[in-house]
Amino acid sequence: MALFMGAGSDDTRFVVFELRLPRTLIGIFAGLSLGLAGALMQSVARNPLAEPGLLGVSSGSAFAVAIALAFGASTATLSVGLAQLGALIGCFCVIGVAQMQGQRNDPIRLVLAGAALSSLLIAMTSLLLLYNERAADEIRFWVTGSIAGRNVEQLLSLLPSFAIAIACVVYVARPLASLALGERVAIGLGYKPGRIRLIVVFAVALLVGAATAIAGPVMFVGLVVPFAARALVGPDIRRTLWLCLPIGPLVILSADVFSRLVAQPAEMPLGVLTAMVGAPVLLAIVRAHRLPTL
Amino acid sequence: MSQSDTVSLGAEALTLKHGKTTIIEGLDIRLPSSKVTAIVGPNGCGKSTLLNGLSRIHAPSGGAVLLDGKNIHKLPSKEVARRLALLPQDTIAPDGITVSELIRFGRHPHQSALKQWAMSDQEAIDYALKAADLSDLQARLLDTLSGGQRQRAWIAMSIAQETPLLLLDEPTSALDLGHQIEVFELIRELSEEGKTIAMVVHDLPSACRYADHIVAMKNGKIITQGSPKDVMTKELVMELYGVECDLIPDPMTGSPILINIKRVKS
């Protein structure tokens, strides 16, 4: 508190305002974005396992960023739009793959399709890095997911698209809740399911792209956050979305604090930590006798 | 029932296709207002497709569905939802939804992102709970109810929608006899209050007992329609289902009952 009043040594001020504050803000931002995106995807896919990281949306975004880096961009000037475009393409790829034949509403099927797509994109990203040393240095830390070493200006550049995404979420929450009652019921209530899904995919791409641009492809946050929210307030997407707002940042920030503590004086990348927590949660959901109907 | 509440629903030269297969071609129909219409016919005759067409779920390949004389697909969907409620066959409810939460969805067509909850909404919900006899169960989770209660909750959602038209696709198909009657009697009560109702029904005697108007379909065409007493003959049963039978009037209600049922080997 005293710091905000202008007290404290220069060193402390530097640590708080130049390192910790941006890092915390970015953590809040990434947590909000990924939590909301996960909740939206799970609702629209009727699948508690649908998660931007697992389904290759984050990897699509990361791949787009890697291409940009390979062609001379730097992480500091990285275009958010590019990461969002990559996320959008990732969304459409996984929807396409998942609908290719067979039983469409099998939750595991969508995750398999996503895992395949994700692996492919990660492999292609690695290939790019292999051939481009400069990009490799820029991206190596970023690609594991981290909220360290970014500045507030980068965060500010994400705000316009974040605002659009939030507007989409506000608009789509009620229709999306009715879509949980089945497509025909939603039509009967005067909604257009195709349009609802399109807006959701658009919002997810904006959110995941922005989060990926600033924090790298952080896995499992989009899985764990809505999972916790649903456990607390039940399946209605409107309540889930509200609850993701505090839980998302909470998860990322505690993971970040922890990632600084476990490997002192070095840091463990945030993405590694979320994967270590998220993967067991994923297994627990799959192992649960019955997947919840969304 | 006030003048503005009477609506008409019908179709002219309606053609409906599933992919490239034509299910219904050039069909004309008009639902009699403030009556219960039962659409009957063998499996695959197109009765559910017709209902989906009438409720704008299935877009026509030819002809038009007319709501108050206007093409239903040219009207804003939300406006249609204030006049026509629909209960599909394959309803799914998310785990953990309560009866009153479900019924509240029926108010969506009357609300918007800005105007989310009004007194009229609460009144409509209370009325729907009362009409479907669910007032004591409103806080219960939907999946803890019996099949009949659950179906009544879905119908209550449609009641809360406050539409003069209600379309139901096999509302009793998954229910045992007692629960079937529970649902059919609710449908009758709604019709007595002035709603125009159309439902797809599998069971002929129930259709005769609870509907004012029968529409009999085969191979995507309407073979005959009219009051149960007029259209229900042993010849019709033979034509629809390839089943021989005799018809006698129910001693209590006078509606036709099937006896001596035999399958004709083809």
Distances (CA, A) of A216 to A25, A64, A127, A143, B208: 15, 12, 18, 5, 65
Structure-token pair, residue A143: 């690609």
Domains of chain B, first to last: 1-83+163-234 (3.40.50.300), 94-162 (no CATH)
A190 touches chain B (CB under 8 A): yes
pLDDT at residue A291 in the model: 56
Give the Cα separation of A195 and A206 in Å (integer): 17
List, for residues B15-28, the tens digit of each pLDDT value. Answer: 999 888 999 999 99
Give the Cα separation of B84 and B5 in Å (integer): 11
Contact state of A187 with B78 under an 8 Å Cβ cutoff: no
**Average pLDDT of span A258-280:** 80
Contact in structure between A174 and B101 (CB atoms under 8 Å): no
pLDDT band for A144, please (50, 70, 90 cuts). low
Structure-token pair, residue A238: 């409107």
- Integer-rounded Cα Rg, in Å, for chain A is 19
pLDDT at residue B215 in the model: 96
Give the Cα separation of A58 and A220 in Å (integer): 10
Give the Cα separation of A105 and A99 in Å (integer): 9
Distances (CA, A) of A250 to A219, A221, B79: 15, 11, 42
Comparing C-alpha atoms, which of A213, A238, A292, A270 is closest to residue A49?
Answer: A292
List, for residues A147-203, the tens digit of each pLDDT value. Answer: 666 777 778 888 899 999 999 999 999 999 999 998 899 999 999 988 998 899 889
**Statement: residue B105 has pLDDT above 70:** yes
**Statement: residue A292 has pLDDT above 80:** no
Contact in structure between A150 and A157 (CB atoms under 8 Å): no
List, for residues B151-183, the tens digit of each pLDDT value. Answer: 999 999 999 999 999 999 999 987 889 889 989
CA angle in degrees (0–180, nearest 5) for A232-A238-A239:
25
The shortest C-alpha distance from B116 to chain A (Å) reads: 10
**Statement: residue B55 has pLDDT above 80:** yes
**Average pLDDT of span A231-243:** 90
B224 vs A128: which has the higher pLDDT: B224
A 191-220: CB under 8 A from B: 191-192
A266 alpha carbon, distance to own chain's centre: 25
Contact state of A293 with B95 under an 8 Å Cβ cutoff: yes
Structure-token pair, residue A279: 């993967």
Comparing C-alpha atoms, which of B210, B237, B209, B211 is closest to residue B223?
Answer: B237
Would you state the torsion angle of the CA atoms of residues B92, B98, B99, B100, taken in this order, to the nearest 10 degrees?
-120
Residue B152: how many other CB atoms lie within 10 Å: 25
**Statement: residue A130 has pLDDT above 60:** yes
Q: Which residues contact B177 (CB under 8 A, 6 or more apart)?
A: none
pTM of the shown model = 0.85
A185 touches chain B (CB under 8 A): yes
pLDDT at residue A106 in the model: 62
Q: CB-hemisphere CA count at 13 Å for B71?
A: 9
Distances (CA, A) of B107 to B85, B119, B142, B157, B194: 11, 11, 18, 8, 20
A83 vs A142: which has the higher pLDDT: A83
**Average pLDDT of span B117-127:** 90
The shortest C-alpha distance from A91 to chain B (Å) reads: 24
A72 touches chain B (CB under 8 A): no
Give the Cα separation of A190 and B76 in Å (integer): 8
B151 vs A283: which has the higher pLDDT: B151
Domains of chain A, first to last: 36-143+150-284 (1.10.3470.10)
pLDDT at residue A132 in the model: 74
Chain B interface, best mutation among A171, A181, A232, A239, by max B CB count within 10 A:
A181
Q: Could you please report the per-residue DSSP string of chain B?
A: --GGG---EEEEEEEEEETTEEEEEEEEEEPPTTSEEEEE-STTSSHHHHHHHHTTSS--SEEEEEETTEEGGGS-HHHHHTTEEEE-SS----TT-BHHHHHHGGGGGG--SS----HHHHHHHHHHHHHTT-GGGTTSBGGGS-HHHHHHHHHHHHHHTT-SEEEEESTTTTS-HHHHHHHHHHHHHHHHTT-EEEEE-S-HHHHHHH-SEEEEEETTEEEEEE-HHHH--HHHHHHHHSEEEEEEE-TTT--EEEEEEEEPP-
**Statement: residue B70 has pLDDT above 50:** yes
Contact state of B81 with A170 under an 8 Å Cβ cutoff: no
Comparing C-alpha atoms, which of B9, B84, B109 is closest to residue A191?
Answer: B109
CA angle in degrees (0–180, nearest 5) for B250-B210-B201:
110
pLDDT at residue A54 in the model: 82
SS (H, E, C) chain A: CHHHHCCCCHHHHHHHHHHHHHHHHHHHHHHHHHHHHHHHHHHHHCCCCCCCCCCCHHHHHHHHHHHHHHCCCCHHHCCHHHHHHHHHHHHHHHHHHHCCCCCCCCHHHHHHHHHHHHHHHHHHHHHHHHHCHHHHHHHHHHCCCCCCCCCHHHHHHHHHHHHHHHHHHHHHHHHHHHHCCCHHHHHHCCCCHHHHHHHHHHHHHHHHHHHHHHHCCCCCHHHHHHHHHHHHHCCCHHHHHHHHHHHHHHHHHHHHHHHHHHCCCCCCCHHHHHHHHHHHHHHHHHHCCCCCCC
pLDDT at residue A6 in the model: 62
B121 vs A133: which has the higher pLDDT: B121
Greatest alpha-carbon pair distance for chain A in Å reads: 65
φ and ψ at residue B173, rounded to 5 degrees: -65, -30
**Average pLDDT of span B127-151:** 92
Beta bridge partners of B199: B38, B168
Residues of B in contact with A235 (CB under 8 A): 94-97
ipTM of the complex: 0.90
pLDDT at residue A261 in the model: 85
Give the Cα separation of A245 and A242 in Å (integer): 6
On average, the pLDDT of chain B sits at 91
Range in A8-17, A269-278, B116-125 with the lowest mean pLDDT: A8-17
List, for residues A72-93, the tens digit of each pLDDT value. Answer: 666 555 667 888 888 888 888 8
Residues of B in contact with A192 (CB under 8 A): 77
Amino acid at A271: G
List, for residues A197-208, the tens digit of each pLDDT value. Answer: 889 988 999 999
A171 touches chain B (CB under 8 A): yes
Percent of chain B with pLDDT over 70: 96
pLDDT at residue B1 in the model: 39
The shortest C-alpha distance from B143 to chain A (Å) reads: 12
**Statement: residue A24 has pLDDT above 80:** yes
**Statement: residue A98 has pLDDT above 70:** no
A76 vs A55: which has the higher pLDDT: A55
A236 touches chain B (CB under 8 A): yes
**Statement: residue A31 has pLDDT above 70:** yes
Contact in structure between B28 and B14 (CB atoms under 8 Å): yes
Strands B256-263 and B243-249 turn out to be: antiparallel
**Statement: residue A228 has pLDDT above 80:** yes
List, for residues B72-85, the tens digit of each pLDDT value. Answer: 999 999 999 999 99
Give the Cα separation of A88 and A74 in Å (integer): 22
